[in-house]
Amino acid sequence: MMNRSLTRKQYASKAKLVAKIRQLYVDILKTPEEWTAFARCVKLDNAGRPAFQEEFARAVPGWKEIV
């Protein structure tokens, strides 16, 4: 999905989108386990991008806790 290097501004924009995806999974569909699986894949695919992780931690609730 996002496994390429972008600017911090682009990461911030994508993080806002992923926050909405989280809301869809958790609040509307009531499937937090599917959200966690999705988020884990995104996080692991981008593990070596500190700016990505920082922007996602700012925008997506619970991002730091996903392992």
Ramachandran sector of residue 61 (left: φ over 0; alpha: ψ -120 to 50; beta: rest): beta
8-23 and 50-59 are packed helices; what angle lies between their axes, rounded to 10 degrees?
40
User: Does residue 1 carry a pLDDT above 60?
Assistant: no
Whole-angstrom CA distances from 17 to 14, 50 are 5, 19
Global pTM value? 0.90
Tell the burial category of 54 from Cβ atoms under 10 Å away from its Cβ (0-12, 13-18, 19+). middle
Please report which confidence band the pLDDT of residue 4 belongs to, taking 50, 70 and 90 as the band edges. confident
Over the stretch 19-47, which tens digit does the pLDDT of each residue have? Answer: 999 999 999 999 999 999 999 999 999 99
